[in-house]
Amino acid sequence: MSDDISRARAARQVFAFLLLATLLLAAGMGLRDPWPSDEPRFALAAKQMVESGDWLFPHRGSELYSDKPPFMFWLQAGSYELVHDWRVAFLLPSLLFGLLTLGLVYDLGRRLWNHRAGLLAAYGVLFAFQFMYQVKRAQIDPVEMGWLTLANWGLLIHFLRGPNWRAYWIGCLAAGFGVITKGVGVLAVLMFAPYLFARLRGWEGVARTERSAWRWLLGGVAFLLPILAWGLTVLHAAKAHGTPEYQAYVNDLFFHQTAGRYAKSWDHAQPFWYYVPIVLLEWLPLSLAYIGAVPRWKRDLQAGEPRVLLPLTWVALVFVFFSFPHGKRDVYLLPALPMMALALAPYLQEIARERWARLTGFWIATLTAIGVLGYAAWVLLGHYGAFEELLKRRELDDLGQAMITMFIAVGAAFVLSVAWFQARRGVQALLGALAGLWLIWSFVSYPLLNDSSSAAGVMRYARQLAGNDTEIGLVAWKEQNRLMLSGPARDFGFGVPWPEQYRRAVAWLAEKPGQRRVFILEDAMGDCVDRNKASKLGAANRREWWLFGQNAVVAGCVPSKDDESGGNGAAP
């Protein structure tokens, strides 16, 4: 596939793309705090690393946190040391690894095909709904996606443009870092399967690496290096602590959360076909290209084209890998998105020019504009009650007018994009409309939704009522409560049953009643707190919270087990 574009023009296009990607992905940073469910947990672990100086063993409040390896927390803590602002620091790793992913997709497309193919593949990843949504959040998965894309970058360059042992070793090292980030970095080795198939079938374009056993083995060393460096350090340090808590941390992290989690997946039960709508709907608008790609894939695979076989087969193997366990989440498939874009890369320019693709993009943007503006008009023309009920369920009672204004702004962005690009550039019309959507969502909804979504408002109010120097104890708390509470605070365990947390809190309160208050979930109070003498703080994350002192304690009363939801202190 030829590409006659000049180097200078190609550089300008790549710069413009990276500028746009940074604008869209970074939009809204600094305007919100971490939102549940995972963001506050990770940010709390990172914050406690910075405050305690213990970067080896993550904590959730007073307890060790063994659900995830610590690499994400290191990144967030390191980001805070760099920028000294948690509202930026907790999102910075996702942003940087998202940009890394886009750069690697472009570079692979350029090396395997040409500049245009690489650039269009990168655009496809950027505007895919799942990518944009996840990279603008602080989950581990965007970081894991970055490591797996770097691993595949190294392997594909070696397999298809090699031998290139340096790229191969970099890829193996990245896979190792992927393991200590979330555990699934090992998925990179699945790329060997289509490579060996193509090589055994004698396909043209596959690198030959005869008499290189020691170089292959060095890849294994590179893969194990970060895993062993971290794992042996943790084992040594846990043994030095010599307490049951640290031994339990090691057992849970290395055996329950990694080795056993895939085979005995217990959360988020879904059917086998769960990921089918993910690759069809959450990868829109890139997934529209499947229609034009299927006959082209068939043609090129029959012709023995390894540049299509390797990334496409890897996506299929990852799809199958995550489909077998009982527990599934849509975000698990995120690392496969860049390779899907790469498998589509050589065809995207042709597909985007076809009439069906232009009209599909145009009509998706047009109908979305009609739907959003129509809903806003429906509310304004007398159906505000139903809309108000929706806002009340989301704890947004006072933001009705602002939310309607945001809907109108989103609809207007789609209308403007459709009017500017028109049907003959329907794909661009859809992408322009989506860019407007993400910018409006980031700059408008983040500050509007922050207090109810992050518990920032409730925790601010709790501190205001208690006073700056009063120590607040937390019962039946969530990570966002501990994270957002300023000033002196303590907890009584996270996984501890609520009645036991309450018992400990009341005993602690009685020691210094004038200097302490208890923050508690309403469902954990039972009849053991006199509500007439306590302060209702309000709702956050669809939960009601209270603050009370010694005078509100009902003597001799402890909430029964029936008052707790039973599940690591989580509210119903």
pLDDT in tens, 477-506: 999 999 999 999 999 999 899 999 999 999
Whether 227 is covered by a domain: the verdict is: yes
Q: What is the mean pLDDT of the chain?
A: 91
Residue from 94, 226, 68 nearest 58 by CA: 68
Confidence at residue 325, expressed as pLDDT on a 0 to 100 scale: 83
Is this structure's pTM higher than 0.85? yes
Task: Kindly tell me if the per-residue pLDDT of 454 is higher than 70.
Answer: yes
* In a shared domain, residues 475 and 443: no
Q: Which two tokens stand for residue 275?
A: 């990921």
152 vs 539 pLDDT, higher one: 152
Are 361 and 342 in the same domain? no
Asked if residue 166 and residue 239 are part of one domain, the reply reads: yes
Helices (H), 441-485: 446-454, 456-466, 479-484
Whether residue 551 contacts residue 528, with contact meaning beta carbons closer than 8 Å, is answered with no
- Residue carrying structure tokens 């459709």: 418
> Residues 102, 121: one domain?
yes
Q: What is the pLDDT of residue 21?
A: 98
The pLDDT assigned to 259 comes to 55
Same domain? 510 vs 556: yes
7 falls within a domain: no
Query: Residue 569: pLDDT band by 50, 70, 90 thresholds?
Result: very low
Residue 2 lies in a domain: no
> Do 149 and 101 contact (CB within 8 A), yes or no?
yes
Count CB atoms within 10 A of the CB of residue 209. Answer: 17
**What pLDDT sits at residue 271?**
86
Residue 490: in which H helix or E strand, if any? Answer: strand 489-491
Q: What is the per-residue pLDDT across 177-235, written as a single tens digit (0 to 9) for each?
A: 999 998 888 999 999 999 999 999 999 999 887 778 899 999 999 999 999 999 999 99
Given a cut of 50, is residue 548 above it in pLDDT? yes
- Listing DSSP states for 344-380 in one string gives HGGGHHHHHHSHHHHHHHHHHHHHHHHHHHHHHHHHH
Q: Are 344 and 401 part of one and the same domain?
A: no
571 part of a folded domain: no
Lowest mean pLDDT among 5-9, 294-298, 356-360: 5-9
pLDDT (0 to 100) of residue 268:
66
Task: Calculate the CA dihedral of residues 266, 476, 137, 187 and round it to 10 degrees.
Answer: -20
By residue count, the chain amounts to 572
Q: How much is the pLDDT for 52?
A: 93
Domain endpoint, select from 438, 453, 468:
453
| Same structural domain, 86 and 123 | yes
Last residue of a domain, one of 434, 453, 472: 453
Q: How far is the C-alpha of 152 from the C-alpha of 154, rounded, in Å? A: 5
Shared-domain flag, residues 436 and 414? yes
Confirm whether 6 is domain-assigned.
Answer: no
Q: Is position 9 within any domain?
A: no
Domain ends where: 425, 453, 481? 453
Q: How many domains does the chain fold into?
A: 3
Residues 314 and 252 in one domain: yes
User: What's the rounded Cα separation, in Å, for the pair 494 and 64?
Assistant: 10
Residue 372 belongs to what domain range?
Answer: 354-453
- Dist CA 491 CA 471 (whole Å): 11
Residue 92 shares a structural domain with residue 221: yes
Q: Is residue 570 part of a domain?
A: no
Residues 391 and 427 grouped into a single domain: yes
Q: Which residue has the tokens 């080896």?
A: 56
Dmax (CA) of the chain: 83
pLDDT of residue 568: 39
Is residue 40 located within the same domain as residue 133?
A: yes
Mean pLDDT along residues 530-552: 91
For residue 47, being part of any structural domain is answered with yes
